Amino acid sequence: MISDSVKNGVIFGCEGPRLTEVEFDFFRDTLPFGFILFSRNIVNAKQVIELCKSLRDAVGWHAPILIDQEGGRVQRIRPPLALDRIPPLDEAEKAGRKAKSIFKLRFTAMAKELLSLGIDFNCAPVLDIARTTTHRFLRNRCYGVNKSDVISLGRVAYDALKSNGVFPIIKHMPGHGFASHDSHFELPVVKASKKELFANDFAVFRAFCNAEIAMSAHVLFEAIDPYSAASTSKKLMDIIRDDIKFSGLLISDDISMAALPGDIKKRTTNLIEAGNDVILHCNGKLFEMKEIVESGVVPNTLTLSRMSSVIEERKKIEHTKIENLELAKIS
């Protein structure tokens, strides 16, 4: 049972390329849902495989290990372990009518690179709509400038990752494309009307409502809740659950980002009370991780059920991948 393996609804990073004894003991005692890797954790293939094993040994099960491997600027693993890729929007524009085929190849290869290292969850596809005003930290990470293209290429990316053994995490729900500021440094404020949001940005995520995992956005939608970022807003969470119809596991974007007010404990409380299932903490600072756990992130029954659904779906992915390999051998 997932409740025996997960004590806290968190995904943690670690500080370096090898797990320290202190980190190992902390993860063993706190039993987070999973882990996330960054460039600071990557040296070579043998080291990454060993790090993934150490993380899973600490918690005593095959816990999810995430990464942001979008291609382009947000690509934690670089050559020789993975191909360098141009940003997705540049790829889509360059490929033109062949974009779907190119995206399938792109994300199929990406999945194989990640899985060979022990990484089985990717924070992609990016389902935000690019606009002329979209901040440059995000714009060329998007897949298109309209909802149709984003849905189409997002589906290709999603299916390619999943069919090749890597669990996709859609982001940034319910939409980050209107944001003209970088949420790593400040809270973006979106002034678009509810009508425009529901017709475009929210509609993209509605098309992916059956996804098993999504990441919430640190973006303020003035027309809906002028006081809180979507990730900490009960009003936006109601839209995510009731209008977008997303019923899967919702993880926050990184809790360390400056878009969120208050200290780590306050941020944790706000994110959990709003309705996020899992807190994402990326920087590997142990004292912050301890504060998150102290704030109370024990998963409730519904969150545990959503976690279980994710793990069961992962088993299906692994089974399908084995079947596909066998079919490939026969043909």
Residues taking part in catalysis: 184, 253
Task: Specify whether the CB–CB gap between 216 and 251 falls below 8 A.
Answer: yes
Task: Specify whether the CB–CB gap between 51 and 117 falls below 8 A.
Answer: no
Nearest to 123 by CA among 267, 284, 232, 253: 253
Beta bridge partners of residue 151, listed in sequence order: none
What are 315's two structure tokens?
């088993």
Burial of 241 (0-12, 13-18, 19+ CB in 10 A): middle
Sign of the alpha-carbon dihedral angle for 56, 252, 313, 99:
negative
Q: Which residues of 23-34 are buried (b: 16+ CB within 10 A; e: fewer)?
A: bbebbeebbbbb
